[in-house]
Structure 1
Amino acid sequence: MIGIDAGLGIAAVALAMVLTPGPNMIYLVSRSITQGRAAGLISLLGVAVGFFAYLLAAVTGVSAVFALVPTMYTAIKIAGACYLLWLAWNAIKPGGQSAFSPKDLPIDRPRKLFTMGLMTNLLNPKIAVLYVSLLPQFVDPAKGDIAAQSLSLGLIQITVALTVNCLIVLTAGSVSSFLARKPTWLRAQRYAMGTVLIGLAVSMAFDRTEAAAPRQ
């Protein structure tokens, strides 16, 4: 059973990361603007399958990490904090490009849309690090079954990510047009996300919680 703090923590991380421009957001926005909302939603379905593939791997992998090498907790925590700081820098650095400046994409059939959404997510380093470095930090071996906790936390992350991405697909055209006319809002969005990521990174780095020995 996960605690409320862990659930809210992974939800906050998931929200900050899904709102930070990356391969998934760029592809979904570009696809939605180029080919319409239906194409964006089909692509999002592929992204969803990619999330569940990562979660399946994490449920097994996280259990193995805590069971075999509990001391990796600190290393994973530091790696996760560093990655959040890197994302924050990319959000606020001068010349950063918005995901709502879409790329031109060819018109594709539904099967290819699904496959491209799936592959974009599976090859997204941000998602890989989320499951490898960040998810384990919200698992508390003292609370019982590690795999069950990982599954619950992963489902929270997927729910947040898919909800936000669905809203992005449905509003991509309108948001892109608005931000093109309001560069100040675009900068504000980047700095807000950068600030949230920095706060999460600092909190994570200075959290003195230690990983307890896993139950047998």
Structure 2
Amino acid sequence: MLGIVHFPFFVAAVFLLNVTPGPDTAYIVGRSVAQGRAAGLMSALGICTGCCVHTIACAFGLTALLAASATAFTVIKFAGAIYLIYLGVRLAFSSSAKSQAAPDGAGDGDAPVQVSKPLRQLFLQGFWTNVLNPKVVLFFVSFFPQFVSGESQHKALAFLTLGGVFVAMSIVWCLFLVWVASGVTRRLGGKPGVKKWLDRVVGSAFVGLGLKLATATR
């Protein structure tokens, strides 16, 4: 159908890809542990939206053009690395800043104002974490074509279908990560010291991922 071939192998490969730790997994787990289930869900939604962008780009050839250009690869690589390092540093030091600001900013009237904006930021951060990862670009352009017949008359639609399956499986895995990681948050309860330590660990991991991405080759 639509020229899609070896579909069971595609599903198996996507499953293995999802369970392999990477920047997306680290971001979802970190946000879920630091801020709870809602933050994890928004982060996962942002990442899966980024996968939708890659799917559309792959279907219409934009991903192939980026992968073929050394300049484009380098620009995306360093943009993604800088963004990951920025998120890591911000996460690592955010707990200290919040703990210092808490005595002055403790007010019941502030709570409703601060809910929507952080969640929106988490969505955008998850989105850009995925979109600015050049390894995701190369994955889509090298992986998806293996499951579309060269004789297919509907290549774009085949890519979109495979992308839809990829995103659907990713959503299920991300929801599982959020559920597990947010359980850690509930168990931590009133232990801000432990959560601050976890923020720093996850932040340091992001810095490490950013540095690794900056030194990656095509």
TM-score by length of 2: 0.58
Shift of 1:50: 6.3
Q: Summarize the alignment of residues 124-143 of structure 1 with structure 2, pairs less than 5 Å apart.
A: 124-134=123-133, 136-137=136-137, 139=139, 141-143=141-143
Q: Distance in 2 between matches of 1:27 and 1:145?
A: 36
CA contact (8 A) 1:11 1:160 kept: no
2:136 counterpart letter in structure 1: P
1:131 counterpart letter in structure 2: N
Change (3 A) 1:122 1:10: farther
Shift of 1:194: 1.7
CA contact (8 A) 1:18 1:161 kept: yes
- How big is each residue's C-alpha offset from its partner over 1:37-57, in whole Å with a ceiling of 9 and x where there is no partner? xxxxxx95x887666554333
CA contact (8 A) 1:55 1:151 kept: no
**Is 2:79 aligned against 1:79?**
yes
| Paired residue secondary structure (1:11) | coil
Over aligned residues, Cα RMSD in angstroms? 4.4
User: Which residue of structure 2 aligns with residue 68 of structure 1?
Assistant: 65
Q: Distance in 2 between matches of 1:159 and 1:77?
A: 28
Following TM superposition, where does structure 1 have runs of at least 4 consecutive aligned residues deviating by more than 6 angstroms?
46-50
CA contact (8 A) 1:91 1:194 kept: yes
Change (3 A) 1:169 1:88: closer
Q: Distance in 1 between matches of 2:210 and 2:174?
A: 19
| Paired residue secondary structure (2:30) | coil
Q: Which has the larger radius of gyration?
A: 2
Q: Distance in 1 between matches of 2:38 and 2:144?
A: 38
CA contact (8 A) 1:87 1:194 kept: yes
Taking CA–CA contacts closer than 8 Å with sequence separation of 6 or more, which of the two structures ends up with the larger relative contact order? 2
**Is 2:198 aligned against 1:189?**
yes
**Is 2:198 aligned against 1:202?**
no
Instruction: Give unmatched runs, 5+ long, in structure 2.
Output: 1-9, 103-109, 147-158
Shift of 1:192: 1.0
Shift of 1:14: 1.9
Q: Distance in 2 between matches of 1:76 and 1:10?
A: 22
User: Which residue of structure 1 aligns with residue 88 of structure 2?
Assistant: 88
Shift of 1:152: 6.7
Shift of 1:207: 1.2
Shift of 1:193: 0.6
Q: Distance in 2 between matches of 1:123 and 1:47?
A: 5
**Is 2:51 aligned against 1:55?**
yes
CA contact (8 A) 2:77 2:214 kept: yes
Change (3 A) 1:151 1:81: farther
CA contact (8 A) 1:16 1:197 kept: yes
Instruction: Give unmatched runs, 5+ long, in structure 1.
Output: 30-42, 107-115, 210-216
| Structure with greater helix share of residues | 2
Larger mean CA deviation between 157-166 and 187-196 belongs to: 157-166
Percent identity reads 14
Aligned residues: 178
TM-score by length of 1: 0.58
